[in-house]
Amino acid sequence: MTITEQDTETLRALEDADASVRLRAALAVGSAPRPAYVKTLVERCAVEPEFFVRDMLTWALTRHPVDLTLPAVVREVTAGKAQARSQALHTLSKLGEPAAWPVITRELLTDPDDEVARCAWRAAVVLVPDESERAALADVLATQLGRGGRETQLSLSRALLDLGDTAVPAVDRATRAADPDVRAHALATGRVLRDPDTRIGFAIEDAKRVVALDGAPGMDHGVC
For residue range 134-176, what is the model confidence (pLDDT) as tens digits?
A: 999 999 999 999 999 989 999 999 999 999 999 999 999 999 9
Which CATH number is correct for 1-127, 3.30.2350.10, 3.30.499.10, 2.40.440.10, 1.25.10.10?
1.25.10.10
pLDDT in tens, 99-144: 999 999 999 999 999 999 999 999 999 999 988 899 999 999 999 9
pLDDT of residue 61: 97
- Average pLDDT of span 4-23: 90
Share of the chain above pLDDT 90, in %: 74
Which of these ranges, 42-51, 137-146, 179-188, 210-219, has the smallest mean pLDDT? 210-219
Evaluate whether 144 touches 175 at the Cβ level (below 8 Å). no
Helices and strands in the chain: count of H runs, count of E runs: 13, 0
The whole-angstrom separation of Cα 110 and Cα 105 is 9
- Higher-confidence position of 6 and 216: 6
Predicted TM-score (pTM) of this structure: 0.87
- Residue 104's region, left for phi above 0, alpha for psi from -120 to 50, else beta, is beta
SS3 content of the chain, % helix, strand, coil (to 5): 70, 0, 30
Q: For the chain, what are the domain ranges?
A: 1-127, 132-216
